[in-house]
Amino acid sequence: MSNFYNQTRAASSLMRRLKRSVINPTAVSRARCFTTTEGHRPTLVHKRSLDILHDPWFNKGTAFSMTERDRLDLRGLLPPNVMSSEQQIERFMVDLKRLEVQARDGPSDPNALAKWRILNRLHDRNETMYYKVLIANIEEYAPIVYTPTVGLVCQNYSGLFRRPRGMYFSAEDRGEMMSMVYNWPADQVDMIVVTDGSRILGLGDLGVQGIGIAIGKLDLYVAAAGINPQRVLPVMIDVGTNNEKLLKNPLYLGLQQHRLDGDEYIAVIDEFMEAVFTRWPNVIVQFEDFQSKWAFKLLQRYRNAHRMFNDDVQGTAGVAIAGLLGAVRAQGRPMIDFPKQKIVVAGAGSAGIGVVNAARKTMARMLGNTEHAFDSAKSQFWVVDANGLITDERENIDPDALPFARNTNEAGRQGLREGSSLVEVVRQVRPDVLLGLSGVGGLFSKEVLEALKGSTSAKPAIFAMSNPTKNAECTPEEAFSIVGDNIIFASGSPFRDVDLGNGQIGHSNQGNNMYLFPGIGLGTLLSGSRIISDGMLQAAAERLAAYITEDEVLKGMIFPPISKIRDITKEVAAAVVKEAVEEDLAEGYRDIDARELQKICQNEEEVLEYVENSMWSPEYPTLVYKRGMDCLLFFVLTSHRLRLAFIICIRAEL
């Protein structure tokens, strides 16, 4: 009998090892069950009791119905009163207002960071409620989960880290990424935002702490575009940091080594891209806050083979284009006059050159999309960097900026030269638009703004687009007080409108990337487009520009209110879907094939309805518990007793 007992123990041990084995099909059956809640179908879960309360994806807190409490073994683990989601939100908001001050770590801790902490705690315990709160209060909380507060979060992320969210691929993981990607529990991922932390907003190299920007962006994908939160993945690629302060900080969570460069760096990014597209062939990857040195190179390397885009280069460009087209309308001119605009650009990094390239393509498209139109459009831009006006005399000029270097002789006729200051360029060019993407706070000084008074436009536009707030080239108060009331102002970070007196309001338009990137991602997903083309990006920008009514735009409003972000995203996504179909890039999505999608796109109302019906909303699904069933593995066993023991063991496990 003791021999039989030992055989039984051996079989039990074997069963446990098989359950842990990577080749065991049980791993698949016990994986977290993912289902689309767009159709409000019941969701199957493989956990009960405290496990379900500790899972933010499925936890409803006090909103669990009594039948669910019985079904999921929750009776007695929650207070008896079943609350509606509206009551839960009301209770949370009361707590939020009370805790905003108490959650601060002292007088130096900004109130916005305290709000972020409280919201993050909600995110950790109940995702559905978190997104309900975020969507219902998007104007107030978008600046908390995204810019400008997210910059502060990234700077302090090592100290704020509490619960892991997303994935970390590092230089130490080379050769392992293909297997690592299967550690993520979701069998379906629609959207990845990835950063290497090298250029977070205008704050520089923050290393592994840059994961905060990926998390914040995906919060907006969920809130604005209705991407299912169970299908998003924030990613940090840690290749080291050149931030000496972080390298010397013993509490820093990332690799404490200098950044990889050259072929070694490329090899890490290549391996990551291969891994994620192997597991999730239809995923969309958004590159975020990569330093200029790599932003363009990586974009060109992957964009023709993968569904990816770079938001700093293409998203910022699209929002700026929408704003520039809106500015033409606000000046009382038709959008077709855009190719006549004289634009001075302060900043020649990835964002600045990305905007100039996109604006040039837009002008060329309006002029007939010929090679001559594309060539002549570049003459509308004067690009100024830290060393002044860029001309063809510049030594070691960045290849990406080279097409916009002014001819020396032509510049001389305008009273300008290589390296002319921003003040000199504004004074001599007398531009219609002064566009700031420099990352240098206060760059639009009193002298620069005074020079803009000489603009040939009766209503010049000032775009202070750098983030976060402290890096804005100027404030709206400075712009309106120095240049005058009759201007158009836009910024990258949120500012309050300016009271000009006599009932007049100086509108502070926020040219936020969140107007576009959620719609670009959603439209690409729903079209099933193989790539994200320039035409799709252009269609997104043009739809955003047309969203503002004529009355609004004549008052100086060139961007819509953030409160309308779900509707804006729906419109932008619809434009992207239609463009993908027109370019024959669409392959369909789920049970909608390319031919059906083509029919849908023939009717504007139908494509808008298709997009809206595909957007996830934060509603609690009905949860149904299903016991995980083990797949039986059959072995040829020589001993009848061992075979019997193995069967007993399996039954015990089930």
**Amino acid at site 444:** F
Of 146, 221, 265, 610, the active-site residue reads 146
Q: Would you say residue 494 has pLDDT above 90?
A: no
What mean pLDDT do residues 444-466 have? 96
| Residue 551: Cβ-neighbour burial (10 angstroms; 0-12, 13-18, 19+) | exposed
Is residue 148 a contact partner of residue 494, using CB atoms and an 8 Å limit?
Answer: yes
What mean pLDDT do residues 437-452 have? 96
* Separation CA 353–CA 293 (nearest Å): 12
- pLDDT-derived band at 468 (thresholds 50, 70, 90) equals confident
* Separation CA 363–CA 374 (nearest Å): 8
- For the chain, the C-alpha Rg in angstroms (whole number) is 28
Of 47, 115, 132, 217, the active-site residue reads 217
What mean pLDDT do residues 615-627 have? 89
| Residue 27: per-residue pLDDT | 38
pLDDT, mean over the chain: 87
Residue-level length of the chain = 654
Of 282-286, 373-377, 632-636, least confident by mean pLDDT is: 632-636
pLDDT tens for each residue of 203-241: 899 999 999 999 999 999 999 999 999 999 999 999 999
What mean pLDDT do residues 112-121 have? 86
| Residue 649: per-residue pLDDT | 45
Find residue 440's DSSP bridge partners. none
For the range 548-553, what are the long-range contacts, defined as Cβ-Cβ under 8 Å and sequence gap of 24 or more? Answer: 548/326, 548/329, 550/329, 553/326, 553/329, 553/330
**Amino acid at site 468:** P
Could you give the residue ranges of the DSSP H alpha helices within 601-639? 604-613
- pLDDT-derived band at 303 (thresholds 50, 70, 90) equals very high
| Residue 41: per-residue pLDDT | 67
| Residue 152: per-residue pLDDT | 87
pLDDT tens for each residue of 128-160: 999 999 999 999 899 899 888 888 888 888 777
> Which among 515, 507, 521, 422 has a CA at the least distance from the CA of 461?
507
Q: Would you say residue 617 has pLDDT above 50?
A: yes
Distances, alpha carbon 85 to alpha carbons 47, 111, 620, 621, in Å? 22, 26, 8, 12
| Residue 237: per-residue pLDDT | 97
Tokens coding 246:
């972080």
Is residue 229 a contact partner of residue 191, using CB atoms and an 8 Å limit?
Answer: no
Q: Would you say residue 162 has pLDDT above 80?
A: no
Distances, alpha carbon 91 to alpha carbons 81, 94, 184, 577, in Å? 14, 5, 33, 40
- Tell me if 502 is assigned to a ligand binding site: no
**Is 245 annotated in the active site?**
no
Report the predicted TM-score, pTM, of the whole model to 2 decimal places. 0.80
DSSP secondary-structure letter at 223? H
- pLDDT-derived band at 89 (thresholds 50, 70, 90) equals confident
- pLDDT-derived band at 193 (thresholds 50, 70, 90) equals very high
* Separation CA 403–CA 394 (nearest Å): 12
| Residue 486: per-residue pLDDT | 94
Tokens coding 57:
């994806």
Beta-carbon contacts of 49 under 8 Å, excluding residues fewer than 6 positions away, are: 72, 73, 74, 77
| Residue 101: per-residue pLDDT | 54
- pLDDT-derived band at 438 (thresholds 50, 70, 90) equals very high
- Tell me if 289 is assigned to a ligand binding site: yes
Q: Would you say residue 100 has pLDDT above 80?
A: no
- pLDDT-derived band at 651 (thresholds 50, 70, 90) equals very low
Of 55-69, 480-494, 572-586, least confident by mean pLDDT is: 55-69
| Residue 647: per-residue pLDDT | 44
| Residue 17: per-residue pLDDT | 41
Which domains does the chain possess?
38-72 (no CATH), 161-306 (3.40.50.10380), 341-511 (3.40.50.720), 515-614 (no CATH)
- Three-state secondary structure call for residue 195: strand
| Residue 608: per-residue pLDDT | 97
pLDDT tens for each residue of 35-55: 344 445 688 888 889 898 988
* Separation CA 178–CA 173 (nearest Å): 10
| Residue 435: per-residue pLDDT | 97
**Amino acid at site 196:** D
Q: Would you say residue 358 has pLDDT above 60?
A: yes
**Is 141 annotated in the active site?**
no
- Tell me if 16 is assigned to a ligand binding site: no
* Separation CA 638–CA 636 (nearest Å): 7
Q: Would you say residue 34 has pLDDT above 50?
A: no
| Residue 479: per-residue pLDDT | 97
| Residue 628: per-residue pLDDT | 58
Going along 420-459, which residue ranges are E strands? 433-436
Report the Cα–Cα distance between both ends of the chain, in Å, rounded.
Answer: 25
Q: Which residue has the tokens 């039984």?
A: 8
Q: Would you say residue 645 has pLDDT above 70?
A: no
Distances, alpha carbon 120 to alpha carbons 76, 100, 192, 262, 428, in Å? 27, 13, 20, 37, 50
Find residue 384's DSSP bridge partners. 346, 389
DSSP secondary-structure letter at 182? G
- Tell me if 105 is assigned to a ligand binding site: no
Is residue 618 a contact partner of residue 129, using CB atoms and an 8 Å limit?
Answer: yes
- pLDDT-derived band at 580 (thresholds 50, 70, 90) equals very high
Beta-carbon contacts of 549 under 8 Å, excluding residues fewer than 6 positions away, are: none
| Residue 640: per-residue pLDDT | 43
Of 247-251, 274-278, 607-611, least confident by mean pLDDT is: 247-251
* Separation CA 369–CA 380 (nearest Å): 16
